[in-house]
A and B are shown apart, each in its own frame.
Chain A
Amino acid sequence: GEDVEQSLFLSVREGDSSVINCTYTDSSSTYLYWYKQEPGAGLQLLTYIFSNMDMKQDQRLTVLLNKKDKHLSLRIADTQTGDSAIYFCAETGLTGGGNKLTFGTGTQLKVEL
């Protein structure tokens, strides 16, 4: 079945860039997503990329996709303390009828002053 993996923790200093990495196994993935989860809260969609793209930029967020290596990354420029959260990579593919999302383990980003 599909699998999505992420590193568990990342610690950065305020003002630095953060890069969160994700790998996936489903070669039929069509869309790949980044969600943010703050403590006690739901999942907030940050950005997504279609599988025929290799880069997408949205303000401080840059998504890079290497489809050959099935590797996705999220770069947050000028990281702020408000960016501290868990970041989930997710993919949806052509298998199944309901476009379910398969989530990664989540990366906890800690931003230090």
Chain B
Amino acid sequence: EPEVTQTPSHQVTQMGQEVILRCVPISNHLYFYWYRQILGQKVEFLVSFYNNEISEKSEIFDDQFSVERPDGSNFTLKIRSTKLEDSAMYFCASKDNEQFFGPGTRLTVL
């Protein structure tokens, strides 16, 4: 059964460093998403992406964040200068009729 994959599973970085989180959506899906879940809190929407552009973004998704689909398979989330409060689990999802989620990348900012 096709699934969304994410790498790495855990990323540790120093405050101020750039990180790139990678996702491979399900191959025939056209809509892609990033969500995050701070420990013990709700899953929060960050951004949705369709037809090579952002279709919606939340207030969390400020200028420090960007997304890209660099080729036909990968979907990436870049955080330019990480802050302590960016520490969270980041989930990628892709959608045909329903959204299917990847296993997540745990980002720890020290």
What is the bound-complex CA distance between A104 and B44, given in angstroms? 10
- Scan B82-110; emit 1 where CB is below 8 A from any A CB, else 0: 00000000010101001111111000000
Listed stretches A16-24, A39-47, A59-67, A76-84; interface member? A39-47
- Scan B22-43; emit 1 where CB is below 8 A from any A CB, else 0: 0000000001010100000011
What is the bound-complex CA distance between A41 and B101, given in angstroms? 10
Is the C-beta of A100 less than 8 angstroms from some C-beta in chain B? yes
What is the bound-complex CA distance between A43 and B55, given in angstroms? 22
What is the bound-complex CA distance between A100 and B58, given in angstroms? 10
Q: Residue of A at shortest CB range from B59?
A: A1
Give the number of residues in B that approach A within 8 Å (Cβ atoms).
Answer: 24
Known: A43-B43, A88-B43, A105-B42. A98 touches B101 (CB 8 A): no
- B45 CB contacts on chain A under 8 angstroms: 100-102
- B44 CB contacts on chain A under 8 angstroms: 103
Is the C-beta of B76 less than 8 angstroms from some C-beta in chain A? no
Asked if B56 contacts A96 (CB within 8 A), the reply is yes
Asked if B98 contacts A43 (CB within 8 A), the reply is no
Which B residues have a C-beta under 8 Å from some C-beta of A?
Answer: 31, 33, 35, 42-45, 47-50, 55-56, 58, 91, 93, 95, 98-104
User: Given A99-B99, A100-B48, 13 more contacts at CB 8 Å?
Assistant: A42-B91, A42-B102, A43-B93, A96-B55, A96-B56, A98-B49, A98-B55, A99-B31, A100-B45, A102-B45, A103-B44, A104-B42, A105-B42
